[in-house]
Chain A
């Protein structure tokens, strides 16, 4: 019988080598990119077929076991429903991203950096696959480090630019701080258990104190990678500076590696105390609201989307926190709602966020700017892109009938359960997350109204020297696939319920009470009916209005300007002005900086108004601390003179010291 697990190994290998052939081809040759993309597509499809087995044939699949020089640590890849659940969006989004890259980052337009991009894009895909399939901590760290390094080179694709290099270095520093935390965490676990295996550990094995330290280290390391506030400081610049399809992969699936780590570690740490869940809930709430608040203040379309990733990570962590509280208080229903919302939102965010980044990329491709306030009126010249962006925006705001609504719905239901509904236990503190989520939803609506309205509606705020082109099919097709996925999950949440049930059963160590399946306690069928009714009535209404207006049109004219006869495009409301009211209400956490013109005479001259929301954590906390640390460590340079004789002397002195005093 053919072993499907071989397909996964094939996928890892194909993805890893997909960029290599291009190194041997000419820089401007279109073949190198075609070959790389082709190999990656084949690899991803192999991986998707192979991993599908976990859901349909065997629940626990050992894929590979190769010996390594490290004692007690083979290179082991194995899949359960939890890793399979994370692997599916990874393979899907990277595959679509590479197809998009065929047109967006064409080899002939970018001869100097395209080959580098292809090599590391493939490596990133492969490393992410290894990471989620890792069965012991050594394999995990191999994947983790591969991911961190290749993503560093991807962020720095255009490393001739200063701000790109800066973003890439910041990313690398943050990534390695995370890796440091993970090394400490795994070392601690190895010290307590004597094994590198990632298996559920009870508190007797690990010790309660150790378990707490391991959890906090996991939170620091994985939180940094996921961009959980206040550890998000590297994320906005890295996502903004990378090419758009790389941003889509980073935001859609790479930061999910952090979430996967958290979910996996909370699976390993089998007996969590209550306060772990509470901590996650608080951090998630802070991330959710402040993430979108910072997004409101942005002018750069990709930075704005990056802040929305922080918001969505917040939602995901709220779900996970609820599941942890459920486990600590032994309430399977809370686990079911919390974790299903968390996991489904991982999928949903991967879908709509990459859709948004790709359509933002189309805008950048056509207009060569990321400044929202310079754009406008693109819905006319780029109808497809506008439609895709609108769909992604509605989905990320959690509006029915799309996928974002389903996952937020599940998390809401879970949070409401903490009121003690249906005779369950009470933990009303958790219910305070409900209005937090609600506020976040309304803020997200405000933010996406701002982006979509300013970028795609109205008229262009700048004079255009060239006609605007809609993206070609290589860019549109991936967006179309993502859009279809968003609609499909929105209309048919029952399809994913079985997969969610299996993953949750793994997370709760197969001991959840029988008969608690998602389909039984969540009204997924009714939601589907409501979504279909909503869509049908919208279509019917639109058709009716179209017919009605068609015969009655009295003509077209320019927008009513209250009698003003010389309106210009610059008079339109800008992104900053739409958000100003809200941003000023939250001026303190955002540290809003405004430069207003001063009126000095009766006939004021030309004046400028500027408003700017800085990355507060980075500029107020991280950089000052790092700088003062750097000054303290400056004194260590005395021993670093840079002459080789001196270093040999150090080694000699050390040897003598060890010979004399080491017993």
Chain B
């Protein structure tokens, strides 16, 4: 690729990462409103919200230190770097090297580490609860993620995200169809859990005792809250985009068509998220580990299937 093309593609990639994530939130909200028989907020409402928060002032707790303010920054920066490591419309990512998938996993862990620390910085018991739940579920989600990576690494013989999440069904993967379908199931559950969606967590709840993500950010306000909201939107977008690339054919040789298919796929993914949130109730807190274990076992089974049938 010539330098001009690389610059253009990077620009496009950054543009999509900046513009699209909040739109997905809007799509999810509209879908939920549709199922609830309401008209719902405008599609662009999340942008207005973030813009408004950025203009607002902040009130901080006297208990807090610099870590409280640093948490949102790390959260956003790590989510953005993770988004730079993944392929979107084409099999190409701005930052790509052998083993980048490990950086992806660990950079997200870095974001989580600082965000939960900034929650603990307030000394609030509610936020302690949220932290406890968040780190617990992360422990169960992480093996699932790595089983998925193992399966994909085995199929595509690579450790680069651009190769791994490579529209499996157009690449002539033959016998690996079942494993890929299985890890798609795992991936979907992982996406729900990592982004604190129903049935693992309810992004709309305002009862502190039951929340996970929302309670962690309870004391952040103004620009800090805006950063966190953008970061979680980007994280959801990253997981949705990778899920789409896992199953949706996109190797046509025509970049415009590939991008179109990808964008439609991501919007469709957001709609399915909205549907899931509309038709399901939140799980009881002690059921969540079982659900996550089920996702992990599915991915593990998929790996065993793959290495034994070849």
Interface residues of A (CB under 8 A from B): 376-377, 379-380, 383, 386, 390, 394, 397-400, 405, 409, 412-413, 416, 419-422, 426, 428, 431, 434-439, 441-443, 445-446, 448-450, 452-454, 457-459, 522-523, 526-527, 530, 533-534, 537-538, 541-542, 545-546, 548-549, 552-562, 569, 571-573, 577-582, 585
Q: A412-B99, A435-B147, A556-B60 are in contact. Are A549 and B77 (CB under 8 A)?
A: no
A397-B109 in contact given A449-B131, A545-B72 (Cβ < 8 Å):
yes
Q: Does A442 contact B138, Cβ atoms closer than 8 Å?
A: yes
5 contacts between A and B (CB under 8 A): A421-B159, A523-B100, A541-B73, A549-B223, A560-B124
Q: Do A445 and B135 form a contact, CB below 8 Å, given A409-B99, A541-B73, A545-B224?
A: yes
- Are the CB atoms of B120 and A573 closer together than 8 Å? yes
Chain A neighbourhood of B57, CB < 8 A = 552-554
A400 x B138 contact (CB < 8 A) = no
Q: Is the interface of B mostly helix, strand, loop or mixed?
A: helix
Determine whether the beta carbon of A445 is less than 8 Å from that of B59. Answer: no
A537 touches B77 (CB 8 A): yes
- Cβ–Cβ < 8 Å partners of B131 in chain A: 449, 453, 573, 578
Q: Do the beta carbons of B113 and A397 come within 8 Å of each other?
A: yes
Q: How far is the CA of A577 from the CA of B130 in the complex (A)?
A: 11
Given A449-B116, A549-B222, A572-B124; A442-B59 close (CB under 8 Å): no
Pairwise interchain contact A441-B109, C-beta atoms closer than 8 A: yes
| Docked complex Cα distance between A394 and B219 (Å) | 24
Instruction: Say if the beta carbon of B184 comes within 8 Å of chain A.
Output: no
Q: Which residues of A contact B222 (CB under 8 A)?
A: 549, 552
Q: Mark B98-126, 1 if CB is under 8 A from A, else 0.
A: 11101101110110110011001111111
Chain A residues near B224 (CB-CB < 8 A): 545, 549
Q: Is B129 an interface residue (CB 8 A)?
A: yes
Task: List the A side residues contacting B219 at CB < 8 Å.
Answer: 559-560
Closest A residue to B159 by beta carbon equals A416
Rounded to whole angstroms, the CA-CA distance of A420 and B103 in the bound complex is 21
Residue of B nearest to A436 (CB): B143
Q: Which residues of A contact B78 (CB under 8 A)?
A: 534
Q: Is the pair B157, A421 in contact by a Cβ cutoff of 8 Å? A: yes
Give the residue among A379, A409, A412 with the most B Cβ atoms within 10 A.
A412
**A534: which of B62, B81, B303 is its contact (CB, 8 Å)?**
B81
The reply to whether the CB of B136 lies closer than 8 angstroms to some CB of chain A is yes
Residue B178, interface by CB 8 Å: no
Tell me, yes or no, whether B307 is within 8 Å of chain A by CB: yes
Report how far A448 CA is from B58 CA in the complex, Å: 29
B58 and A559 within 8 A (CB): no
Q: Does B300 contact A (CB under 8 A)?
A: yes
Residue of B123, B146, B147, B154 near A419 (CB, 8 A) is: B154
Cα of A419 to Cα of B154 in the assembled complex, Å:
6
Question: Which residues of chain B come closer than 8 Å to A533, judged between CB atoms?
Answer: 81
Q: 1/0 contact trace for B225-240 toward A, CB 8 Å?
A: 0010000000000000
Report chain B residues within 8 Å CB of A571: 125
Residues 126-142 of B contacting A (Cβ, < 8 Å) = 126-129, 131-133, 135-136, 138-139, 141-142
Expressed in whole angstroms, the minimum distance between the Cβ of A233 and any Cβ of chain B is 25
Q: Of all chain B residues, which has the CB nearest A583?
A: B136
On chain B, the residues within 8 Å of A534 by CB distance are 77-78, 81, 107
Which of B65, B95, B112, B128 is the one whose CB lies under 8 Å from A445?
B112
Mark each residue of chain B from 59 to 77: 1 if its CB lies under 8 Å from any CB of chain A, else 0.
Answer: 1111101010110111011
Q: Nearest chain B CB to A524's CB is how many angstroms away?
A: 10
- B97 interfacial by beta-carbon distance below 8 Å: yes
Number of A-B contacts defined by CB within 8 Å: 236
- One of A439, A545, A560 near B143 (C-beta < 8 A): A439
Quick check: B123 and A559 within 8 Å, CB to CB? yes
Q: Choose one: B56, B67, B112, B132; the contact of A580 (CB below 8 Å).
A: B132
Docked pose: A336 CA to B80 CA in angstroms:
32
Inter-chain contact B150/A434, CB cutoff 8 Å: yes
Q: Which residues of B contact A (CB under 8 A)?
A: 54, 56-63, 65, 67, 69-70, 72-74, 76-78, 80-81, 95, 97-100, 102-103, 105-107, 109-110, 112-113, 116-117, 120-129, 131-133, 135-136, 138-139, 141-147, 149-150, 153-154, 157-159, 208, 218-219, 222-224, 227, 289, 296, 300, 303, 307
* Interface contact A441-B63, CB-CB below 8 Å: no
Q: Which residue of A lies closest to B74 (CB)?
A: A538
Cβ–Cβ < 8 Å partners of A538 in chain B: 73-74, 77
Q: How far is the CA of A394 from the CA of B60 in the complex (A)?
A: 25
CA distance A426 to B299 in the complex (A): 20
Q: Quick check: A557 and B62 within 8 Å, CB to CB?
A: yes
A254 to B54, CA, bound (A): 52
Q: How far is the CB of B98 from chain A (nearest CB, A)?
A: 5
**Cβ B136 vs Cβ A434 within 8 A:** no
- B76 and chain A: residue at smallest CB distance: A541
Q: Which residue of A lies closest to B110 (CB)?
A: A399
Contact in complex: B125, A442 (CB < 8 Å): no
Residue of A386, A449, A548, A569 near B120 (CB, 8 A) is A449
5 nearest A-B pairs in the assembled complex, by CB-CB distance: A573-B128, A458-B123, A453-B120, A446-B135, A435-B143
Say yes or no: A554 contacts B65, CB within 8 Å: no
Residues of chain B within 8 A of A431, CB atoms compared = 150, 303
Contacts A442-B139, A446-B135, A452-B117 known; 19 new A-B pairs at CB < 8 A: A383-B65, A397-B113, A398-B106, A399-B109, A416-B150, A419-B153, A419-B307, A420-B154, A421-B157, A435-B147, A438-B142, A457-B123, A459-B123, A523-B100, A538-B74, A554-B58, A559-B124, A561-B124, A578-B128
A558 touches B135 (CB 8 A): no
| Docked-complex contact B158 and A421, CB < 8 angstroms | yes
In the complex, what residues of A have CB within 8 A of residue B144's CB? 435
Q: Assess whether A419 is in contact with B120, with CB atoms less than 8 Å apart.
A: no
Contacts of A421 in B (CB 8 A): 153, 157-159
Q: When the two chains form their complex, are residues A559 and B61 in contact, meaning their CB atoms are under 8 A apart? A: yes
B-side contacts of A413, CB under 8 Å:
98-99, 102, 159
Minimum CB distance partner of A572 in chain B: B123
A611 to chain B, nearest CB (A): 14
Q: Give the residue of A526, A545, A569 whose beta carbon is less than 8 angstroms from that of B223.
A: A545
Contact A394 B132 (CB under 8 A): no
Bound complex: CA of A562 vs CA of B208, how far in Å? Answer: 8
- Quick one: given A439-B143, A537-B77, A573-B132, are A400 and B59 in contact (CB under 8 Å)? no
Residue of B with least CB distance to A398:
B106
| CB nearest to B103 among chain A residues | A530
Which listed residue (A442, A558, A577) contacts B63, Cβ 8 A? A558
Q: Is the CB of A400 within 8 A of B146?
A: no
A294 CB → nearest B CB, Å: 14
Select one of A376, A399, A542 contacting B70, CB under 8 A. A542
Please, which residue of chain B has its CB at the minimum distance from the CB of A458? Answer: B123
Is B62 in contact with A449, judged by CB distance below 8 angstroms? Answer: no
Given A556-B62, A573-B132: A453 touches B77 (CB 8 Å cut-off): no
Q: Contact check, B63 vs A438: say whether CB atoms are below 8 A apart.
A: no
Closest to A560 in B: B219
A-chain residues with CB within 8 Å of residue B76 when the two chains form the complex: 541
- Check if B126 sits within 8 Å of A552, measured CB to CB: no
- Other-chain residue from B62, B80, B150, B154 in contact with A558 (beta carbon distance below 8 A): B62
Kindly list chain B residues whose C-beta atoms are within 8 Å of the C-beta of A578: 128, 131-132, 135
Minimum distance in angstroms from B251 CB to a CB of chain A: 21
Q: Tell me, in angstroms, the Cα distance from A564 to B157 when the chains sit together.
A: 57
